[in-house]
Amino acid sequence: MDRKLTWGPHIDKMCGRLGGACFALRRVARALPREAARACYFATVHSVLQYGTELWGRAADWERAFRMQKRAIRALAGVSWDTSAKPHFRSLEILTLPSLLILQIALYVRQNLPTYKKHSDAHGYATRGADRLAELPRRLAKFSKTTRIAGPAVYNSLPNDVTSATNIHCFKSRLKKWLVEQAFYTFDELFTV
């Protein structure tokens, strides 16, 4: 972070690392089988993107990191730079950067579910949204991007077959499968599904 508490320096450094990884992936994808090249992706690109995603994933210039991820996917798939990466995210079963952010926030909420209130806790009426999580109060719009505050909106937007999972492992696997199918290109796409 810099003096103004932005994530620009972190994203700059990360994009530099991702650029080198993309170059290596393009060479590795030609020489190795697909599964081995995919493992290289997870070691070089995914690990860098996943680190602290819930903190910097909604920063002003998060799209620079996402462009680098799409470049890595195209390198892995062996397609040209102007080809759409979305179908390759699905075929390789790799989460997009916005999907990684949604995954991290949803896992946080699921692990801390008892700390959140439901709509049924506020009143005794049997309404359709009684089991949905209540949004947390906030004074500034800036706080709406934090993991704790954004959590209820993200969790409430997930499909019922994901949220009805009995344990955290089942929840995580169902959520990953659903996010791979959706291949979100922005965080806000979650709320329009």
- Separation CA 43–CA 100 (nearest Å): 15
Q: What is the pLDDT of residue 2?
A: 57
How far CA 153 is from CA of 1, 116, 118, 176, 187, in Å, comes to: 27, 12, 12, 18, 12
Q: Is 33 left (phi over 0), alpha (psi -120 to 50) or beta?
A: beta
* Predicted confidence (pLDDT) at residue 5 exceeds the cutoff of 80: no
* Predicted confidence (pLDDT) at residue 190 exceeds the cutoff of 80: yes
What's the half-sphere exposure (Cβ side, CA atoms, 13 Å) at 121? 9
* Predicted confidence (pLDDT) at residue 3 exceeds the cutoff of 70: no
Q: Which of 122, 152, 124, 120 is nearest to 136 (CA)?
A: 152
- Separation CA 50–CA 73 (nearest Å): 15
Cβ neighbours, 10 Å, residue 50: 17
Confidence of residue 51 (pLDDT cuts 50, 70, 90): very high
* Predicted confidence (pLDDT) at residue 49 exceeds the cutoff of 80: yes
Q: What is the pLDDT of residue 94?
A: 97
